[in-house]
Amino acid sequence: MPIYEYECRECDHPFELLVLGATTAACPACEATDVEKLVSLSSSSSDSSRRRNISLARKYGGKDEIEKAHAEHDARHKHSH
Ligand SMILES: [Zn+2]
């Protein structure tokens, strides 16, 4: 889904918006439609404003990987005995 990041030109409030069809971006803080579209969340992962999302993804992804590794280890261990 196309989630875009915007910054309000009126109050400098940054926000993210899921854009569906002809959705007009409006600032959730002051309702101004004079907003600047920033890069898409799906096409960039290095912006500092997105560090929190990335760290959450890493946290959960890492947990999954660790659990998967444990499961695989257990399976191998049981097989070897
Ligand atoms: Zn605003």
Tens of pLDDT along 49-62?
555 565 656 665 66
Q: How confident is the model at residue 69 (pLDDT cuts 50, 70, 90)?
A: confident
CA of 38 to the centre of ligand 1 (A): 15
CA of 40 to the centre of ligand 1 (A): 19
Q: What is the pLDDT of residue 22?
A: 79
CA of 6 to the centre of ligand 1 (A): 10
Asked if 25 contacts 19 with a C-beta cutoff of 8 angstroms, the reply is yes
Q: Which residues pair with 3 in a beta bridge?
A: 18
Tens of pLDDT along 5-61?
999 999 999 999 888 877 788 999 999 999 999 865 555 444 555 555 656 566 656
Q: Which residues pair with 6 in a beta bridge?
A: 15, 37
CA of 14 to the centre of ligand 1 (A): 8
CA of 20 to the centre of ligand 1 (A): 21
For the chain, strand residue ranges (E) read 3-8, 14-18, 35-40
